Amino acid sequence: MSADAADSQWPLWEVFVQAKTGAAHEHAGSVHAADGELALQAARDVYARRGPVVSLWVVESERIIATTPADSPSFLEPGPEKIYRHPRFYTGPKAVKSGPKAMKKP
Amino acid sequence: MDGAEARDDAERERRFQARIDAGEKIEPKDWMPEAYRRQLVRMMSQHAHSEVVGMLPEGNWITRAPSLRRKQTLLAKVQDEAGHGLYLYSAVETLGVSREELIDELLAGRAKYSSIFNYPTLSWADMGAIGWLVDGAAILNQTMLSKCSYGPYARAMLRICKEERFHEKQGFEIMAVLAAGTPAQRAMAQGALERWWWPTLMMFGPPDAASTHNEQLLRWRVKQKSNDELRQWFVDLTVPQAQQIGLAIPDPELRYDAASEHWRTGAIDWDEFWRVVRGGGTCNRDRLAARQRAHEEGRWVREAAEAYAKKRRA
């Protein structure tokens, strides 16, 4: 049961699944596979046994470049002090409606 | 560890617990206490191995399913268990343990998995009892774990819960059909219930008073219910189902307590539980041998895939 090279578990691939056209691809999990083609097949067997799935992506896990929890707060500097980026920062005459919700249905 | 380091760790641990108390999820790269990581690896790998070994008692009946409908259901269910094992191995890998190590542990006989799979499947009705009782019990546990504080585990559980609903329903269907059949079929269903009832109650783990992990796991919100709470939940759901299809729960002390609105069972034989956990079950050795054989018989597939990938890279 030794972990010889021929019996390796292969690189790790992250799997992304799109449930319907127009939706975003969402991370579903990972698979081990010798190459991309086999990774797609394994992803199909593992993460698309049941619908609805219209599209699958796989990417080698080590190719993903991600933020770390340590540098996230400053790197992703949230906008509490940038409230001018939100519509509620702005005021107008109360009687005037604006935005998509103001549109009358045809 | 010097004083300053110890203080840092205590502070990190305080912040970690505060995040958990606030209902936040912990993700793989977040700081976590080593004990939290270890507990998760322990639970999740046991869970993954259970899915994989769980294929064996049912795989045993695929060729003997009584109809094409039952056979395709059983095939799909066993395939799901393989998939669920993979979701879970994938989740454990986020904690820095490779799947290879986990599988090596299983094949070497060092890993634990749910003791329920060390009981034999003697009749077709056992396929009904496993779906109805064993998967029914697993769904309750997994429903709770889908709210686990560790993100990857919770997400794997959500996916599994969605898929396992049919496992439980097809099992109950098998039992209901047998229970309404000929006297021999009825006896087969009753026999299966009698053999699987107590081992299923043991699946939830030792009683709270004897459980070493309960309290800490609850504080970390890895679990939201104790072993006994989950067990009670299962009993309350299952007793009326048995009554509905006219099967008798093999427990002369079972009674309904109107004041608490709970079904109370007789005492569970924990000596049997520990005996099976320690390797004394009917099938412990068979299960391990079957896994080792499957791994060896799949070797040529792994070698072929590796050779092909190498050729394409060249």
pLDDT tens-digit map of A20-68: 999 999 999 999 999 999 999 999 999 998 878 999 999 999 999 998 8
Q: What is the predicted pLDDT for the residue at A105?
A: 64
A45 is a domain residue: yes
A51 is a domain residue: yes
CB-based burial label for B115 (10 Å; 0-12, 13-18, 19+): buried
String of DSSP letters for B143-180:
HHHTT-SBHHHHHHHHHHHHHHHHHHHHHHHHHHHHHT
pLDDT greater than 80 at residue B11: yes
Confidence of residue A2 (pLDDT cuts 50, 70, 90): very low
B108: nearest CB among A1, A9, A34? A1
A18 is a domain residue: yes
SS3 B213: coil
Shortest distance between the Cα of A86 and any Cα of chain B, in A, equals 25
B29: nearest CB among A33, A46, A68? A68
Supply the range of the domain harboring residue A12.
8-64
Give the separation between CA B89 and CA B87, rounded to whole angstroms: 6
Give the separation between CA B222 and CA B313, rounded to whole angstroms: 43
A102 is a domain residue: no
Name the token pair of A14: 């992250």
Q: What is the predicted pLDDT for the residue at B114?
A: 93
Mean pLDDT for the stretch of residues B29-34 = 94
Give the separation between CA A56 and CA A48, rounded to whole angstroms: 9
A90 is a domain residue: no
SS3 B42: helix
Nearest to B174 by CA among B222, B126, B208, B139: B126
pTM (two decimals) = 0.89
Confidence of residue A3 (pLDDT cuts 50, 70, 90): very low
Give the separation between CA B58 and CA B128, rounded to whole angstroms: 10
Residue among B90, B92, B159, B166 with most chain A CBs within 10 A, to mutate: B90
Q: What is the predicted pLDDT for the residue at B20?
A: 96
CATH number of the domain that residue A51 is part of = 3.10.20.520
Which helix (H) or strand (E) segment is A30 a member of?
strand A26-32
Residue of A nearest to B163 (CA): A50
Contacts with B104 from chain A: Cβ below 8 Å? 1, 3
A6: nearest CB among B163, B303, B313? B303
Nearest to B281 by CA among B271, B290, B291: B271
A106 is a domain residue: no
Q: What is the predicted pLDDT for the residue at B246?
A: 97
Q: Domains in chain B, please, with CATH? A: 9-313 (1.20.1260.10)
What integer best gives the mean pLDDT of chain A? 83
A17 is a domain residue: yes
Query: Do the chains contact at A69 and B107, CB–CB below 8 Å?
Result: no
B305: nearest CB among A3, A34, A49? A34
Contacts with B309 from chain A: Cβ below 8 Å? 10, 34-35, 38
A96 is a domain residue: no
Number of domains in chain A: 1
Query: Do the chains contact at B292 and A10, CB–CB below 8 Å?
Result: no
Query: Do the chains contact at B29 and A66, CB–CB below 8 Å?
Result: yes
Residue among B75, B77, B86 with most chain A CBs within 10 A, to mutate: B86
